[in-house]
């Protein structure tokens, strides 16, 4: 059992990662077939992980109902729709009118509501970030105000040049910063991937 829990996942990660990585650079049919096979297994494992997550969600909310914790009535709603929507999609398919109706008239409006609530948190974060405590914060404040004025009609009414300055800020400094962030993120992902392939990274297995 110790081998299955500790060593086997490392070996699978090393072999799977190496095969998929080599398939990008080499063209032998066997290697390409193995890479495709691992990709199919990835989708299968993702489905099992999603099922495990749904089961864990059911367990947590069932315990909330059993212990009658605060707002436990909402757990009834979650469990009802989680199980009902899964049954509806499994037996009647995603093309069923009721399935589409729930998605279009319940899920999408609720998603939009969540993003709308996040806008208030973003606004408070901007208020804290835009305090000109130093030179960098002052530059951020000025750039943010200019970009906001360049994106709304009142800014154009005040000065038509706001649109031109906004385009320059978005296309030059902003693009350069985003490319730097993306390159750093890509290098970090590459480093972690290499550590997984070499068997050095064990954080995803519960190790240090």
Per-residue pLDDT tens over the stretch 132-141: 677 877 887 8
Query: How does residue 175 score in pLDDT terms, banded at 50, 70 and 90?
Result: very high
123 against 164, higher pLDDT: 164
- The answer to whether residue 123 scores a pLDDT higher than 80 is no
> Is residue 64 helix, strand or coil?
helix
3-state helix, strand, coil in the chain (%, to 5): 85, 0, 15
Helix axes 29-67, 8-25, angle to 10 degrees: 130
Task: Tell me how crowded residue 155 is: count the other CB atoms within 10 A of its CB.
Answer: 20
Query: Any idea which of 52-61, 154-163, 165-174 has the lowest mean pLDDT?
Result: 154-163
Query: How does residue 81 score in pLDDT terms, banded at 50, 70 and 90?
Result: confident
Long-range contacts for 19-24 (Cβ within 8 Å, ≥24 apart)? 21/193, 21/197
Nearest Cα to Cα of residue 11 among 172, 206, 198, 159: 198
- The answer to whether residue 178 scores a pLDDT higher than 90 is yes
Task: Tell me how crowded residue 13 is: count the other CB atoms within 10 A of its CB.
Answer: 20
CB 130 within 8 A of CB 144: yes
Query: How does residue 4 score in pLDDT terms, banded at 50, 70 and 90?
Result: low
Average pLDDT over residues 18-23: 83
Query: In the predicted model, what is the mean pLDDT of the chain?
Result: 83
Provide the CA 201 distance to its chain's centre, in angstroms.
Answer: 22
Average pLDDT over residues 83-96: 87
Nearest Cα to Cα of residue 26 among 14, 13, 35, 38: 35
pLDDT for 176: 92
Query: How does residue 189 score in pLDDT terms, banded at 50, 70 and 90?
Result: confident
Burial of residue 174, with CB atoms counted within 10 A of its CB: 0-12 exposed, 13-18 middle, 19 or more buried: middle
pLDDT for 46: 86
Average pLDDT over residues 57-81: 89
Task: Tell me how crowded residue 150 is: count the other CB atoms within 10 A of its CB.
Answer: 21
pLDDT for 182: 94
Kindly provide the b/e burial profile for residues 55-75, where b requires at least 16 CB atoms within 10 angstroms of the residue's own CB. Answer: eeeeeebeebeeeeeeeeeeb
- The answer to whether residue 180 scores a pLDDT higher than 60 is yes
Cα gap 108→15, rounded to integer Å: 40
């Amino acid at each position: 059992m110790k081998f299955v829990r500790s060593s086997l996942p490392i070996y699978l990660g090393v072999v799977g990662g190496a095969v998929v990585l080599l398939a990008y650079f080499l063209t032998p049919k066997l290697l390409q077939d193995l890479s495709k096979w691992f990709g199919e297994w990835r989708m299968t494992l993702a489905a099992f992980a999603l099922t495990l997550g749904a089961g864990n969600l059911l367990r947590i909310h069932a315990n909330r109902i059993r212990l009658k914790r605060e707002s436990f009535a909402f757990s009834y709603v979650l469990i009802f729709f989680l199980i009902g929507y899964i049954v509806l999609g499994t037996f009647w398919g995603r093309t069923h009118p009721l399935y589409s109706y729930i998605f279009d008239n319940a899920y999408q409006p609720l998603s939009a509501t969540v993003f709308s609530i996040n806008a208030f948190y973003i606004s408070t974060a901007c208020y804290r970030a835009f305090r000109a405590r130093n030179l960098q914060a002052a530059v951020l404040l000025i750039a943010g105000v200019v970009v906001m004025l360049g994106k709304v009609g009142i800014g154009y009414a005040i000065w038509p040049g706001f649109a031109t300055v906004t385009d320059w800020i978005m296309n030059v400094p902003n693009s350069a910063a985003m490319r730097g962030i993306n390159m750093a993120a890509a290098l970090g992902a590459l480093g972690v991937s290499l550590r997984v392939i070499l068997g050095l990274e064990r954080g995803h297995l519960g190790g240090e």
